Amino acid sequence: MMEKAAPARGFAAGEFARRIAGAQAELARNNLDGLLLTTPAEFYYFTGFLTRFWESPTRPWFLIIPQSGEPVAVIPTIGAPLMRRTAVRDIRTWSSPDLKDDGVSLLADTLSELFKDGRVGTPDGIETHVRMPLADFQRLTQMVGPVRIEGDCGIVANLRMVKSQAEIEKIENACGIAERAFANVREFARPGVGFDMVCREFQRACLAQGADWVPYLAGGHGPCGYDDVISPATSAPLQNGDILMLDTGLVWDGYFCDFDRNFSLGPADNETAAAYDVLIEATQAGFEAIRPGQRACDIFAAMDQVLTGGAGTSENGRLGHGLGIQLTEWPSLIPGDTSELKTGMVLTLEPSILTRDGCMLVHEENVVIEETGARYLTKPCPKGLPVLDQAI
């Protein structure tokens, strides 16, 4: 199979206008006069404003999308040159940080001017937060007087959940970069090498293969799996017989992949190898259950049937999730998420299974939902735990 060429960076004209129009239609339907947005993912989604500068928590940033008309950015002066490269024309700035008034009165004036006594929605549901100091948010709600700041009725989440073709291509490209990095793991993952060095080398491999940056790497290793999947890597060396798992969220042009690969350092015992095959089977069961119109919980159920016979619970809380501009997005593959699956959604399938001695295995693939069902964005692993055959 030929490697796909990397897609173009950025988005064609019209993409952001379509997203904004989509939000505006939903604003009208929900009797909201505008959206107030504060987070990196929201800025990138609606304007293409992409920067690692968000790593600094110092400055708040605000983007307003009125029910009709053009978006307005109320941002620190330092962000103006980059914002001027987007389609946003109404850019209002203040010199931040300002310990007395860090954009709050400029934002309040702007909201009052745009909305008079209207209702503004800000994302307030699961997987969201308001990225500004709480005291400033409380002061803002006082200052804007008759303008009411409320929840966004899930408008932003519902829009972002369904990806455009261009978004899917970016995620698929990120997946391809990670695949190539995983193909290099046998070059540096050997018994005796510290797990921290393996993680460092894997991040280097992701960058060498084309990642812009590597915001997320988790993993584990141990004789029958790993006892948790969120601890930072220690210098404990890999051992012959270990199962090694690396789970990366690398970014290409602002979009994440999120999947893992397991390797056995030398042949695995039968029990662990069998547990791995159950994960592959569960992943495939989830894949086959996916159709537009099914619900997130249906995919959970299909996978859980393979994993537990239908116990209805999951060790790590879920068996997959959305992804895109963020490492994890809506929906969640859990019994309680009845979100309807739609063409264009991108999901991870992420089953986990207990082995023994408090250990577990986790497997993860990325898929996109098309009209006839799911399509893998990763190269899905077949049964049979990959073995790295190196002598000590």
Q: Scan residues 26-55 and list those touching a second copy (CB under 8 A).
A: 50-53, 55
Q: Does 340 bind a second copy (CB under 8 A)?
A: no
- Residue 251 sits at the vertex; the CA angle it makes with 297 and 258, to the nearest 5 degrees, is 30
Residue closer to a second copy by CB (options 137, 376) is: 137
Helices (H), 72-225: 80-83, 104-115, 134-143, 155-161, 165-183, 185-188, 195-208
Q: Which residues of 362-376 are buried (b: 16+ CB within 10 A; e: fewer)?
A: bbbbbbbbeeeebee
Among the listed residues 334, 347, 368, 369, the single contact to a second copy using CB under 8 A:
334
Residue of the chain from 110, 326, 355, 366 that contacts a second copy (CB under 8 A)? 326
Q: For residue 387, state whether it binds a second copy (rule: CB under 8 A).
A: no
Q: Give CA–CA dist 175/172, Å, rounded.
A: 5
Residue 383 interacts with a second copy (CB under 8 A): yes or no? no
Among 69, 97, 145, 267, binds a second copy (CB under 8 A): 97
Q: Pairing between strand 72-76 and 90-94?
A: parallel
Q: Total residues at the site for a second copy (CB under 8 A)?
A: 76
SS percent in the chain: helix, strand, coil, step 5: 35, 25, 45
User: Among residues 102 and 169, whose Cβ is nearest to a second copy?
Assistant: 102
Region binding a second copy by CB under 8 A among candidate stretches 81-89, 111-119, 265-273, 277-285:
81-89
Q: By CB under 8 A, tell whether 187 contacts a second copy.
A: no
| SS3 at position 290 | coil
Cα–Cα dist 311/7, whole Å: 42
How far, in Å, CA of 324 to CA of 329, rounded?
A: 7
Among 33, 102, 169, 242, binds a second copy (CB under 8 A): 102
Considering only residues 251-310, where is the footprint of a second copy by CB under 8 A? none
Among residues 300, 307, 298, 284, the alpha carbon closest in space to that of 374 is found at 284
Interaction of residue 100 with a second copy, rule CB under 8 A:
yes
Site mask for a second copy (CB under 8 A), range 141-170, x = bound: ----------x-------------------
Touching a second copy, residues 121-140 (CB under 8 A): 122-135, 138
- The residue among 99, 37, 45 whose CA lies nearest residue 74 is 37
Q: What is the x/- site pattern for a second copy, positions 208-237, by CB under 8 A?
A: x-xxxxxxxxx--------xxxxxxx----
Beta pairing class for 213-222 and 148-151: unpaired
Interface residue with a second copy, options 173, 272, 332, 355 (CB under 8 A): 332
